Structure 1
Amino acid sequence: MAQLTDLPTEIILHIVSYLQSHDDIAALAAQSSHLYESCDMRARARFREIHITNNAKHLKSAFAALIDILEQPYLGRYVRHIEYWELFHCREPLLAQVLTALLISVAPEVESMALSQPFLSKFSVPWHTDSIDRKCTKFPLKWLLHQINNNDAFPGARGPKLLRKLRDVYLVNETEDDTSWKQDRVFFMTDLFGFLELFHHLPSIESFGTDELKTSVVGKHGLPFASSNISRIRIEHSLADSMNLARMICLCKQLREFQCPIGARSIGGNLTCRLNSFRIIFQALLVHRRTLEVLDLGVTYIPFESTPVERVPLNLSENREKREQMQLIRTANEMALADRSVQLPDWIWDQAGSLAEFSALKHLNLELQYLLYMARGVGTARDDGYQLVDRLPSQ
């Protein structure tokens, strides 16, 4: 009986070229030593993940990988994950960026990336009302990612389309030496939407994740409504305010997963929680009530000795809730006045609904007051005399 291993190596390689998953290729290669050699598993293991930092060892390894790929271009198809992290005050500024950009240009099968923000955030100082933008510095990785994401003609008719298979993006927020921050969480200002603008249009993009999120008040304020294929958002330890979270939720065409534990313990052990209007987040989630499958809105890092904090005022009237909500929305829109395209449609804030209407929900983890608020509902769906069991999703 003829077996797969009896086929010529060229035919086996042609079959393997149709396997998109590295795990599938590894499973095939494990069947025999002949298939292991034919699948070139040693080279695949070397090139599968490439890590690039300003560390001399990482730079040397990444440069060697780039040279090998340029000499043997098929090796670029083995690269499935690229991780980039760089400090801008280091001795070799932007060298890691250049290497990362070059590797992206020769690795068409990349499926996931984890990277620090590849540009400097705008910053403000107390005695200036306007932010200061460091426009004098050019960031090659930011330029390349922006062109890939926002310019359909890039890199021209003859050039390969890049990052067509990228599914997962993770924003890395870390210090150079993270060991000193083990006890308390430290948050760094992030231009969240400036970062997402580098990926949100990619055809295969599915998920975005990050940790220790604190958005910059002088960065980009949002992205257009329903402009992204991102359907899964995973954030750990968020200090982003309600409007930024709502804009992130609403940039998705269809949202299937939203995990965002709120708050953190700042230096000294004090509870920090930045949600200024849970109603804003809830009505943003109502946009996806028919597609959302996973919802996690817990509260993290609450010291046992701390006094409970009322994060959601459940006793406010509908009219007062609405007035306070619209005041926050007007303030947020004024801050984003320079880019009206990021302002969310008004109909979002007129929605009525409750937790019971999330028909696709399969996993739910909510802080107690968030649960009670969503079960009670907003607008014409609000019922202050509800029974919790009657307001849970049918699934």
Structure 2
Amino acid sequence: MDFLSLPLEIQAMVIPRVSLIGDLAALSQSCRSIHRLCDMKTRERYYQIRVHPKDHSINKTFDLMMEILKNPKLGNYVREIVQTRQPSMDHSYVQTAEQRTLSACDRNLLHAAVRKAGFAGPQETAVLNMLMQNTTRPPGENNESLMFSNSAYGYNEGQIHGTFIAQALAAILISVSPNLESLVMTQPFSVFSGFCRGGERLLDEDDHFPLHRFLRQANAKPTSAPYLQNLRKVYMIVDDKDSDDRYYMAIDFLECATLFDNLPSIESISTDALCDDENCEARVVLEPRSSNISRIRIAHSSLPSKFLVSLIQSCKVLREFQYTIGGRCVLGGWYSPFDAKTFIKSIYPHKDTLEILDIDAERNMHYFHPDYFEQDQVDQRIDERSLETDDDDDDERQMLRSSSSTSKSLKEFRTLKRLSVGIGFLVYFAMGIRENNGPRKPFLLPEVLPESLEYLCIRGYEKGKCKKWDVHIDALVVSFVSGLSGLKEITGIEEIIPNSEDVDDPDDNEDLLWSPIYNVDE
């Protein structure tokens, strides 16, 4: 049945369920009646709301929030909220004189929204006070005092004040946006909270940042809150305005994941430019099979295998995993080795659900050198690397000792549709993990690919560089051309796709630096 032939009341019910603004725009052009129902001008105004602690942004966002409080139907149009200020230090909020003048009716609406968002007692009073500020400058302070206040720590009172205001605005906006699907945000708690507090979860009375508190409470009781029920994806902004964004930077990404992992509709969490926080003495431990997150994307980053294993094992179901290095410089010059054997063990329990796998870290897998494949030394080199690991990697192996002794080869991943990896990782994955020193059975690559595989991207392959690789790729091409393979597309054979790598010198290689999607200074 044609959509236009449906009764108007049915059309009016369907249109709000179309989440992509582009699809709605195209639909609105089909006829005048649909155009009126779509109300694109209003939808575009509320579709994405940005919250940034600059005076003009704060006031614009506050006005949008009040419009929604006065007309709750407008909150149904909000699909994405972007919050772009990360707390630089752990502070308590200092309440100051209110700077806004609201009518009694508007103030009652605002007060009711704060209570509905779950704030009570002293927190309710503090959040209301934050919302009643119309500038990041605390009353009684002048520009000169703000400029030099706490300058040794790289922040000032205006930045601190603005961070609290932005978080309060974001929390209330989320609470009045029932159809919210996407959340883009910075870490909502102090950068150094893990170091200062030994990695322990903050108690409610110690949690001064309203957005952090709001998200923790909602995730703890996901079915009791009328908000965040439709949130599907979260993107964590890593860039800190006070740091050199040419280098990988640390946030407590694992703790951030625990702010969303119980939500009923959550699917994915992603980030860029992330590195591990060496100052975090006791990171959050993610419980195995506890998270509703099923898609993880970490790009342009530098992380140890233990970090990735923890994320993977926390998923009840894993459908997509992407991890790529490159685009930033490693502070201190140390790179994060990638343990292919441990990684394959960690994803093996998800062999019946994994659909997309993209690993671009072969530059950090030195045991996949072509000579080691030619001399059948790959297993030996990987085992030697394991013997050289430190105690932290012993903990990593401990997490995986309960796994079965099967080969854990690529062919066993029965639902895999898209695979993007380096040539060395591809061949090793196809061989399967060898748990003993016995000989391997000979094979050709097309014989051990999952039947479900539709797309294959091979990075770093150059014909003539390794004879054993050439034999596998030649057989793969024959299978693909003959139509015997289920593959629909292969890239990286005729044209070399280079493996990503860390930027050695950010001063000399500016063209290799990754540019942030979201600007924290906007």
TM-score, normalised to structure 1, is 0.79
Moved more, 188-197 or 116-125: 116-125
Change (3 A) 1:122 1:330: farther
Output the CA distance in 2 between the equivalents of 1:199 and 1:44: 26
Which residue does 1:59 correspond to in 2? 58
Tell me if structure 2 keeps the 8 A contact 1:266–1:272: no
CA distance in 2 between partners of 1:162 and 1:46 (Å): 20
Moved more, 27-36 or 283-292: 27-36
Tell me the C-alpha RMSD between the 2 structures. Answer: 3.6
- Assess if the C-alpha contact under 8 Å between 1:120 and 1:134 holds in 2: no
1:374 to 429, 436, 452: 429
CA contact (8 A) 2:194 2:283 kept: no
Query: Please, which moves more after superposition, 317-326 or 21-30?
Result: 317-326
DSSP-derived class of the 1:244 partner? helix
The answer as to whether partners of 2:295 and 2:318 remain within 8 angstroms in 1 is: yes
The one-letter amino acid paired with 2:348 is L
Equivalent position SS for 1:69 = helix
Q: Deviations over 1:64-102 (max 9, x none)?
A: 110100111100000000111114341523111000001
Report the 3-state secondary structure (helix = DSSP H, G, I; strand = E; otherwise coil) of the residue aligned with 2:419: strand
Instruction: Return the letter of the residue paired with 1:296.
Output: D
Mapping 1:7-26, distance limit 5 Å: 13-14=12-13, 16-17=15-16, 19=18, 22-26=21-25
Distance of aligned partners of 1:30 and 1:221 in 2 relative to their CA distance in 1, 3 Å threshold: same
Please give the per-residue CA displacement for 1:322-360, whole angstroms capped at 9, x wherever unaligned.
Answer: 766795454459xxxxxxxxx846423755311222222
1:229–1:254 Cα contact (<8 Å) kept: yes
Corresponding residue of 2:238: 173
Contact residue 260 and residue 296 of structure 1 kept, 8 A: yes
- TM superposition score normalised by structure 2: 0.61
Counterpart of 1:316 in structure 2 is: 380
Could you report, residue by residue, the CA deviation over 1:170-194 in whole angstroms, capped at 9, with x for unpaired residues? 111113389x74xxx4111111110
Letter in 2 for 1:117: Q
Residues 366 and 352 (structure 1), Cα distance of their counterparts in 2 relative to 1, 3 Å cut: same
SS in 1 for 2:354: coil
Query: Which stretch of the first structure deviates more once superposed, 349-358 or 161-170?
Result: 349-358
Distance 1:241 1:328 in 2: 10
Shift of 1:238: 2.1
Of the structure 1 ranges 220-229 and 67-76, higher mean CA displacement relative to structure 2 is found in: 220-229
Alignment partner, residue 76 of structure 1: 75
2:337 alignment partner AA: L
Q: In 2, distance between residues paired with 1:263 and 1:385?
A: 35
* Shift in CA distance, 100/123, structure 1 to aligned 2, threshold 3 Å: closer
Residue in structure 2 matched with residue 158 of structure 1 by the alignment: none
Change (3 A) 1:54 1:296: same
Unaligned residue ranges in structure 1 (runs of 5+): 156-160, 303-307, 334-342
Report Cα offsets for 1:361-380 as digits up to 9, x if no partner.
Answer: 22222123322322222145
Unaligned runs of 5+ in 2: 88-154, 369-376, 454-522
- Mapped contact 2:300–2:328 kept (Cα < 8 A): no
SS of 2:300's equivalent in the other structure is: strand
Indicate the residue corresponding to 2:192 in structure 1.
Answer: 122
Q: Deviation of residue 213 (structure 1)?
A: 1.5
2:367–2:382 Cα contact (<8 Å) kept: no
Matched, 1:215 2:276: yes
How far, CA to CA, are the matches of 1:347 and 1:326 in structure 2? 20
Aligned to 2:419: 364
Q: Does the alignment pair 1:242 with 2:305?
A: yes
Which residues in structure 2 correspond to 1:185-224 (within 5 Å)? 185-217=246-278, 218=280, 220-224=283-287
Q: Is the 8 A contact 1:240 1:274 kept in 2?
A: yes
Provide the rounded CA distance (Å) in 1 between the counterparts of 2:79 and 2:418: 29
Which position in structure 2 is the counterpart of 1:45? 44
Q: One-letter code of the match for 1:360? A: T
Number of aligned positions between the proteins: 365
